[in-house]
């Protein structure tokens, strides 16, 4: 049984997104300011990327570089950015939150449904995210690939 692999490329320009699609990527994660770890791209960049590529388009939702602990105002900006990305044709969003944001995550993720949401957090297990969001979580076991 083989596990399907999706090639996703992190890009910060329309040109990079087009090149990724031409190179075989099934999805791009669109960001700005990759040198600082990535922040939310502009609405214009989202719209032009969607116009030029037909593959999956994830948009990074991150109002600033630095840690993943956001103020109430930053969190409101993030919710608006999610809605804008949705209006501009993105297929989903990627984001991350620190553990102190647990009470706000559910309210923000409501704006994402029924999208794919990718969580960036090396500190919080997926089962914890699902518990916070009251989503079902099932750990699955897949056979390891074998070398031929």
Most confident of 17-26, 64-73, 138-147: 17-26
The confidence band for 70, taking pLDDT boundaries of 50, 70 and 90, is confident
Average pLDDT, stretch 4-20? 94
CATH numbers and ranges of domains, the chain: 8-133 (3.20.20.380)
Sequential DSSP letters for 100-119: GGHHHHHHHHGGGTTSEEEE
What is the value of pTM for the model shown? Answer: 0.71
* CB neighbours of residue 111 within 10 Å: 18
Task: Please determine, for residue 83, whether its predicted confidence score (pLDDT) is greater than 60.
Answer: yes
CA distance 126 to 136: 11
CA distance 59 to 118: 10
Render pLDDT for 111-137 as a digit per residue (tens, 0 to 9): 555 555 555 544 444 445 455 444 444
Tracing tokens 């944001």 back to the chain, one arrives at: 101
Task: Please determine, for residue 146, whether its predicted confidence score (pLDDT) is greater than 80.
Answer: no
């Amino acid at each position: 049984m083989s596990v399907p692999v999706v090639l996703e490329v992190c890009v910060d320009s329309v040109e990079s997104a087009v090149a990724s699609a031409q190179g075989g990527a099934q999805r791009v994660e669109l960001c700005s300011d990759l040198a600082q770890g990535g922040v939310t791209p502009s609405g214009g960049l989202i719209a032009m990327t969607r116009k030029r590529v037909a593959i999956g388009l994830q948009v990074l939702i991150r109002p600033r570089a630095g840690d993943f602990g956001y103020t109430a105002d930053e969190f409101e900006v993030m919710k608006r950015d999610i809605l804008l990305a949705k209006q501009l044709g993105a297929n989903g969003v990627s984001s991350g939150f620190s553990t102190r944001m647990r009470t706000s995550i559910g309210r923000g993720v409501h704006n994402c449904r029924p999208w794919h949401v990718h969580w960036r957090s090396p500190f919080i297990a997926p089962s914890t995210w699902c518990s916070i969001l009251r989503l079902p979580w099932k750990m699955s076991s897949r056979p390891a690939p074998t070398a031929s």
